[in-house]
């Protein structure tokens, strides 16, 4: 089975995907190399670009629905939801924005339920910085208070919320690529009807994602 990756702002990271494919023999060391070589990983990934709301609506109601109907994919990734709304709406358009979010949420729920397919939506967060912190520039990524960029309207559309954060390592240069430095990251369950609040640590290296015990 394959997956659909919907890009809404940046070009699909095809170079990084090729790196992951080339390094699969290291990530899956428990699988014989000849089996890894026979699998055409890139042939099962469908990439869609949706730069605005109309294109995204057409993508999920027609193109994605067709792939799901034909049984060609079992995972949908949207990267990211916030990008679609960043420039479309002003402060006075909050009601219209909320309606779009509710409509998209209902459509994605329908696809997920109908085809029993998980849909993962990436959403950036915004910092909640106090005036004193802003004046002193004293906040940091680790202890800053963040909230979903699309607010409570979109948060209520989701069945499960996960938070990913990176733990800065001593002496690590900001310009070093994360997949080379292997910086430690945390995946935290913020809300899930079937899971208790919990977290785990992992790294992202050249060969892919690896959990840390």
Q: In terms of C-beta distances under 8 Å and separation of at least 24 residues, what long-range contacts does 66-71 make, across chains too?
A: 67/2, 67/4, 68/111, 68/114, 68/115, 68/117, 69/115, 71/1
* pLDDT, tens digit (0-9, with 9 covering 90-100), for 46-80: 999 999 999 999 999 999 999 999 999 999 999 99
pLDDT exceeds cutoff 50 at 149: yes
pLDDT at position 172 is 55
Residue length, the chain? 213
pLDDT exceeds cutoff 70 at 144: no
Q: Minimal CA–CA distance to 68: which of 7, 109, 108, 111?
A: 111
* pLDDT, tens digit (0-9, with 9 covering 90-100), for 94-117: 999 999 999 999 999 999 999 999
- Across 75-84, 98-107, 140-149, 152-161, least confident range: 140-149
Burial of 72 (0-12, 13-18, 19+ CB in 10 A): middle
Mean pLDDT of all residues in 38-45:
92
pLDDT at position 175 is 46
- Across 1-5, 95-99, 146-150, 152-156, least confident range: 146-150
Q: What are phi and psi of 64, to 5 degrees?
A: -65, -40
- Of these ranges, 75-89, 121-135, 143-157, 165-179, the one predicted with the greatest mean pLDDT is 75-89
pLDDT at position 179 is 47
pLDDT exceeds cutoff 60 at 176: no
Looking up tokens 């949706």, which residue turns up?
Answer: 50
Burial of 28 (0-12, 13-18, 19+ CB in 10 A): middle
Q: Which tokens is 110 given?
A: 């329908």
Alpha helices in 59-188 (DSSP H): 64-69, 81-85, 94-115, 131-136, 151-155, 178-181
pLDDT at position 195 is 92
Q: Which pTM value belongs to this model?
A: 0.83
């Amino acid at each position: 089975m394959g997956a659909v990756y919907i890009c809404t702002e940046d070009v699909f990271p095809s170079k990084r995907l090729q790196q992951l494919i080339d390094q699969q023999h290291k990530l899956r060391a428990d699988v014989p190399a000849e089996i890894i070589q026979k699998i055409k990983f890139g042939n099962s990934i469908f990439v869609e670009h949706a730069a605005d709301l109309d294109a995204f609506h057409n993508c999920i109601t027609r193109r994605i629905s067709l792939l799901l109907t034909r049984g060609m994919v079992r995972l949908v990734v949207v990267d990211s939801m916030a990008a679609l709304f960043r420039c479309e709406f002003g402060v006075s358009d909050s009601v219209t924005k909320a309606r779009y979010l509710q409509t998209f949420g209902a459509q994605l729920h329908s696809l997920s339920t109908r085809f029993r397919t998980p849909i993962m939506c990436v959403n950036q967060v915004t910092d909640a910085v106090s005036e004193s912190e802003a004046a002193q520039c004293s906040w940091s990524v680790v202890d800053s208070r963040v909230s979903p960029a699309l607010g409570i309207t979109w948060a209520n559309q989701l069945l499960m919320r996960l938070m990913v954060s990176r733990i800065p390592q001593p002496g690590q240069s900001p310009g070093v690529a994360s997949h080379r430095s292997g910086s430690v990251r945390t995946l935290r369950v913020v809300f899930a009807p079937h899971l208790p609040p919990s977290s785990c640590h992992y790294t992202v290296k050249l060969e892919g994602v690896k959990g840390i015990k």
